[in-house]
Structure 1
């Protein structure tokens, strides 16, 4: 793939505005456990004042919501520019400056969400006056979701809403941090919780009990073995940052005391897939093997012993949109291609549910996300604003 355009290094005239918007957005504590509605209302008022047509899609509580803003005509196939509003917790104790205040140091803007991914949203806000003042031939749909960080929970409602439009969008650009390079693939994910129920008693009589931690550890070993099989046997796609699927255990909880056989143990595990068609069957194969291997042993000691598997969430992989008609239309403005990524995004949701071919292009590096002193390079915001200018010209 040879998609590459040189971008000027001069300071964009709206860079100061983008920085100011980013400071405002970071100040909203939109950790996924909290409401995001104050931020959504703040953005909606801003875009409405510019003439944008806004639609708010609240969740069942009304405390969280998606925002969709349209600039341009509704009767033409348009482009989605998508970013999530939630951020991960900022519980690390080694932040140099408060995480929900933006601070500028050495050409970087620090704060929770600066990179992932309020920097992109701030650029959209800074570019919106240009969107509003331009005679757009194709509409731009600015989409801001809730709860991406906990399983892409808000995006499906937006994808369905867009799909049901009389003239749906034909292309989506997801602003996840990609160093302002073009990403044409993203892994899907299935997150699961396993709960093992055994029998308890004084640990000196442990052979008579069903040790939930022991059986959980054996399931975890099966998960580890499946993960290793992906590493050795594939399938492989060398365009990904990790060129194969991964399966691993992420959290575990069990036991009550050192001298009590544990009767409960739960743990979470995940599968990140590159082959969307086999993801569910691969996961089910691990579950079936665990039950078939372990349950007879457990039941031989206690009829009440059992294993439960519950899906926490799942989101689909984002396929390669480079063969789509829409990609060909916008190919000339897209930045240099950097491959495919193993982290999640809402691109797969727009593609699978909305039928919208999607790519990732956004400011910042994923290496700076989800950690103390998260930051985005100011130069990345500058590149993003230049890219949005090029997109505006393409659709006008």
Structure 2
């Protein structure tokens, strides 16, 4: 099958992060097993989702690894012109949920697997398919204890998030948190006698803002990013039951996206100090993934450059699973077809020319592995 045919199958699996991906994983397993790959299924703690590790070629620790996530964001509340889980071609584009983010790369990766199965490889080709990337890279974090000994030491891992086939050498790390503000319930007519949890929450959000101002004015700067400094963002505040009841509980969900030069621990400490000063505010970390920072002149970048016609180096504003691989000691870059401007919205699409460009890169990669 060509990449378009494979993508047609992949889009047909509605692998929204809140749902199971086992049907897709089963299909990919059968496809790769028929090609002669060795396979390891890695289930999540619930047994309702799974990731895969696969390899083919000589029993050596190096080789090249390709990585893609299987989950997609929801389509509810979006005004689609087409059925989101049925691939549609129009005007040189392929439409469907996940075409850009990132089943297009997964399709090209599986096409490359077929080519590798017919080649006399001198180095192995290794593949990773994960779950729950769209909810803070949760799946790959759960998979890593099993993956680390299986992956061994590939000389490069390519994470195929959409970069318009440019080479992304970095992205910020991210951590998410929930601040819980505890007040006292009471009648609003006696408001001053009680501790209002929403007021505590407002004070905590007030502490986020000067931190952001300091980061933008005097924090580390990296002009490779559209926003060149670390960011702090409150995305959700919830509390209270009725206007005439003093709220006794307030939750604030917030995040920190940080440059490598801004240690996360120091940013966390500043907000912990603010919580202590306000009082009755506790902070829980709800998720995190590491950033990525690769030197532009590294051998990994030069290797990937040679597989592409005239790639530019870039950095991406969104997070990826690359940080987890890089933190495990595996040289990792981000490069894939499509553009994130088309992801996460109605009528998501990928240009057919982008998919073809990825296929050409994969062809060169298989040739490299065959020596």
Q: Does the alignment reach a TM-score above 0.5?
A: yes
Q: For 1:166 and 1:269, how far apart are their aligned partners in 2?
A: 34
User: Cα deviations across residues 257-311 of structure 1 (Å, max 9, x unaligned)?
Assistant: 122221111121000111266112212211222222x11xxxxxxxxxx222111
- Equivalent residue in structure 2 for 1:138, among 120, 123, 131: 123
Q: 1:323 Cα shift?
A: 4.8
1:173 maps to 158
Q: Structure 1 321/56 Cα, relative in aligned 2: closer, same or farther at 3 Å?
A: farther
Give the superposition deviation at 1:337: 2.3
Normalised to the residue count of structure 2, the TM-score between the two structures is 0.94
Distance 2:151 2:189 in 1: 70
CA distance in 2, matches of 1:167, 1:346: 17
Could you tell me the TM-score, scaled by structure 1's length?
0.89
After TM superposition, the runs of 4+ consecutive aligned structure 1 residues lying more than 6 A away are none
Change beyond 3 A, Cα 1:65–1:166: closer
Map 1:241-320; keep pairs closer than 5 Å. 241-275=226-260, 278-292=263-277, 294-295=278-279, 306-320=280-294
Query: How far apart in 2 are the matches of 1:386 and 1:77?
Result: 22
Kept in 1, the 8 Å contact 2:126–2:151? The answer is no
Q: In structure 2, what is the Cα distance between the partners aligned to 1:166 and 1:57? A: 13
Which residue matches 1:378?
352
Contact 2:158–2:333, Cα closer than 8 Å, also in 1: yes
User: Aligned partners of 1:276 and 1:45: how far apart in 2?
Assistant: 44
Residue 195 of structure 1 pairs with residue 169 of structure 2: no
1:389 matched to 2:363? The reply is yes
Q: Deviations over 1:320-340 (max 9, x none)?
A: 154544444444224512321
Query: What is the CA-CA distance between 1:228 and the residue it aligns to?
Result: 2.3
Matched pairs, number: 369
Render the CA deviation track for 1:231-273: whole Å, top value 9, x for unaligned.
Answer: 2112001112321111110112111112222111112100011
1:234·1:245 contact (CA, 8 Å) conserved in 2? yes
What SS does the aligned partner of 1:43 have?
A: helix
Determine the structure 2 residue equivalent to 1:332. Answer: 306
Deviation of residue 92 (structure 1)?
2.3
| Whole-angstrom distance in 2 between the partners of 1:330 and 1:158 | 26
Distance 2:93 2:271 in 1: 44
Q: Would you say the 8 A contact 2:57–2:123 is kept in 1? A: yes
Offset at residue 95 of structure 1 (A): 1.2
> Shift in Å at residue 100 of structure 1?
1.7
